[in-house]
Every structure is written in C-alpha cells, then in structure tokens.
C-alpha cells in the first residue's frame, strides 16, 4: 500500500512523523491510565485492591443512595444477614438522607464516592479536595461519623489525589471483579460475573447511577441477582463481608 498516495500532499517524512507522534500519544495515555487507575503498578500506600483472606469476599455498591434500589438491596442484605459497603455520592446523599441513615443504622460501611460522580483525575487538587470534603460533610451530618473509605468514580485516580486522601486518613478501595450491572446485562450475566469470585476478591455492583448521570438507571437486576450471589458464595465456603471486616 502506498502511504504517500493515501495522504496526498504529505511526503514519507511527514507520514512517518505523524505515525510516530500518534504512537507516542497512545503510549503516553496507556501508561498514564495504567499507573493512575485501578489496574495500577503493584502496591501503593493507601490503596486496597484486594484482601488476603481465602474465606472472605467483599460486596460493594457504588453511586447511591437511591430510595427504591438501595432499600431493596438493604432488605435482601438484612434477610441474608450480610453486611456490605456502600460508596455514596454527596449529591444523592443530600436528596435521600433517610436511606443513608438506614445504611448506617443497619451496620453497613459507608464510603465516599465524590459529590458529583465525576472523573476526578483531570481536576486540580483543590477541586478534588472539594468533591471529597463536601461528601464527607454530608455523610457526617447524617450519620455523625466520618467515612474511612473512598472509591474514585470509574476507578480513576491520580497521585496527587491519592496523597491527599492518605493525608486525610482515607483508604482508596478499588475492586477485582465488576459485575457490569451498570449496563443492565441481565440477572444471569451479573450472577455469572460474581461467580468468578475467590477469597480476597472485592465485587463491584451499583445501587444507583447511570451511564452519564449520578442516578436514573434501573438497578432492579442488581437487586434480583444479589440474593443468588450471596447464596452461591456461601455454598462455596466464602463469607460476604463489608470492607471494615475484610482484614479481621
């Protein structure tokens, strides 16, 4: 194939320069996100990627609270006598404080998930701090307690944010298994994804949110799958727990 012919007026030097530039940009963005997202490169201070127990699996929910789906999930957890971790957004917590209070009163962990559910990595440190502090204040006002755990929206964080969170006393909690329930793929699909869990894994699910907004999508599939997931974990000798019990 004649590349020069394809690019018309460009000579081969121009084409090689363009190709090298594009390749360099792709490599830059790959390594940037590889280092800064939940994939990571080895251990980092303040980051929890998985647990060491061969018997415990952490169940976590993002993007809530929601008055319908979070309460449905809480009903199932109560019935099954399971504690989980809810990473909530400040904006939703302000709308539904009674749901936040119920999560706390029933003994589940409440984690910080930012105020607006935005990708925080491109933000300046001052904006990142504001997103986290606002949510922290909302949670404390409702529950009387400050959150100890933070999960960055979409799992993306940078090093300045990580250092700030560590200085504030947070642990960043990521995940090892996503059920992909955010796209409503069907109850069987969600259960199949969770079925891959082994001891020490952290399962990611959602009790609110949508593809582009802080809430709006149905999480009924998640609620229906949850009961099956808990039963299957227990049948395999695994104990579903909240993050604060993960390392005990």
Q: What is the pLDDT of residues 211-227, one digit of tens each?
A: 555 556 899 999 999 99
Q: In terms of Cα–Cα distance, which of 231, 187, 218, 186 is closest to 77?
A: 231
Domain parsing of the chain, residue ranges: 3-36, 47-245
Residue 163 in contact with residue 200, Cβ under 8 Å?
no
Q: Is residue 233 predicted with pLDDT exceeding 70? A: yes
Q: What is the pLDDT of residues 24-67, one digit of tens each?
A: 666 655 554 444 444 444 568 899 999 989 999 999 999 999 99
CB-based contacts of 19, cutoff 8 Å, min separation 6: none
CA 43 distance to own-chain centroid: 18
Owner of token pair 């390392």: 247
Q: Which CATH number fits domain 47-245: 3.20.20.370, 3.30.1490.100, 3.40.50.11820, 1.10.150.120?
A: 3.20.20.370
In the prediction, which pLDDT does 29 show?
55
Strands 171-173 and 47-48, sheet pairing: parallel
In the prediction, which pLDDT does 22 show?
78
CB-based contacts of 6, cutoff 8 Å, min separation 6: none
Which of helix, strand or coil describes residue 109?
strand
Q: What is the pLDDT of residues 85-134, one digit of tens each?
A: 999 999 999 999 999 999 999 999 999 999 998 888 889 999 999 999 99
Bigger pLDDT: 200 vs 121: 200
Q: How far apart are CA 55 and CA 16, in angstroms?
A: 54
Q: In terms of Cα–Cα distance, which of 149, 154, 176, 165 is closest to 51?
A: 176
What average pLDDT does range 80-85 have in this prediction?
A: 98
In the prediction, which pLDDT does 16 show?
67
Instruction: Examine the residue annotation and report whether 63 is marked as an active-site residue of this protein.
Output: no
**Residue among 14, 62, 63, 108 flagged as catalytic:** 62
What average pLDDT does range 130-156 have in this prediction?
A: 96
CB-based contacts of 15, cutoff 8 Å, min separation 6: 3, 4, 7
* Tokens (6 digits) for 43: 């251990």
**pTM of the predicted structure, to 2 decimals:** 0.83
**Residue among 117, 158, 206, 207 flagged as catalytic:** 206
CB-based contacts of 125, cutoff 8 Å, min separation 6: 160, 161, 164
Instruction: Examine the residue annotation and report whether 206 is marked as an active-site residue of this protein.
Output: yes
> Is the preceding omega at residue 39 within 30 degrees of 0, hence cis?
no
Average pLDDT over the chain, rounded to an integer: 88
């Amino acid at each position: 194939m004649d590349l020069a012919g394809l690019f018309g007026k460009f000579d081969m030097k121009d084409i090689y320069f363009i190709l090298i530039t594009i390749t360099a940009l792709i490599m830059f963005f790959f390594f940037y996100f590889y280092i800064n997202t939940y994939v990571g490169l080895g251990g980092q201070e303040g980051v929890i990627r998985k647990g060491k127990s061969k018997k415990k699996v952490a169940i976590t929910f993002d993007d809530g609270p929601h008055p319908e789906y979070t309460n449905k999930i809480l009903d199932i957890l109560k019935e099954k006598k399971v504690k989980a971790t809810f990473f909530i957004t400040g904006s939703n917590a302000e709308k539904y404080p009674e749901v936040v209070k119920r999560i706390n009163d029933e003994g589940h962990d409440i984690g910080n998930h930012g105020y607006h559910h935005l990708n925080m990595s491109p933000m300046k440190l001052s904006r990142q701090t504001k997103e986290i502090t606002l949510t922290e204040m909302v949670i404390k006002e409702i529950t009387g307690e400050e959150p100890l755990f933070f999960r960055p929206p979409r799992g993306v964080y940078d090093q300045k944010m990580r250092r700030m969170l560590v200085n504030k006393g947070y642990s960043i909690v990521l995940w090892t298994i996503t059920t992909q329930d955010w796209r409503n793929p069907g109850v069987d699909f969600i259960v199949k994804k969770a079925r891959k869990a082994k001891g020490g894994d952290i399962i990611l699910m959602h009790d609110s949110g949508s593809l582009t907004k802080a809430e709006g999508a149905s999480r009924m599939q998640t609620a229906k799958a949850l009961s099956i997931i808990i039963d299957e974990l227990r049948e395999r000798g695994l104990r579903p727990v909240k993050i604060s019990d993960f390392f005990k």
